[in-house]
Chain A
Amino acid sequence: MTDDPHGETHLDGNAAAGTLAELFTFDVTVAVGRCAGCGRVSTVADTRSYLDGPGMVVRCTGCDSVLLRVVSSPERTWLDLRGLAYLEVDHVTEG
Chain B
Amino acid sequence: MGLISRGFTGRRREGAEDLPPGQYLTHDFPVLAAGPTQRVPTDDWKFTITTETGARHEWDWAAFTALPRDEVTVDLHCVTRWSKLHTDWEGVSLDTLLADVETSAHYALVESYGGYTTNLPLEDLTDGQAWVAFRYDGEDLDPEHGGPARLLVPHLYLWKSAKWVRGITLSDHDEPGFWESVGYHNYGDPWREQRYWE
**CB interface residues, B 142-198, toward A, < 8 Å:** 159, 178-179, 181-184, 195-197
A64: which B residues are within 8 A, CB to CB?
35-36, 114-115
List residues of chain B with CB within 8 A of the CB of A52. 31-33
Q: Hey, which chain B residues are within 8 Å of A69, CB to CB?
A: 178, 182
Q: Which residue of chain B lies nearest to A79 when distances are taken between CB atoms in the complex?
A: B182
Give the number of chain B interface residues (Cβ < 8 Å): 21
Using Cβ atoms and an 8 Å threshold, which residues of chain A touch B34? 50, 53-55, 57
Of A53, A66, A75, most B-chain CB atoms within 10 Å: A53
**Secondary structure type dominating chain A contacts:** strand
18 extra A-B contacts, CB within 8 A, seeds A54-B79, A64-B114, A80-B181: A52-B31, A52-B32, A53-B80, A54-B32, A55-B183, A55-B184, A64-B35, A65-B115, A69-B178, A69-B182, A71-B179, A71-B183, A71-B184, A72-B183, A76-B183, A77-B183, A78-B197, A79-B182
13 contacts between A and B (CB under 8 A): A50-B33, A50-B35, A53-B32, A53-B34, A54-B32, A54-B159, A55-B183, A65-B115, A73-B183, A73-B195, A75-B196, A76-B183, A80-B182
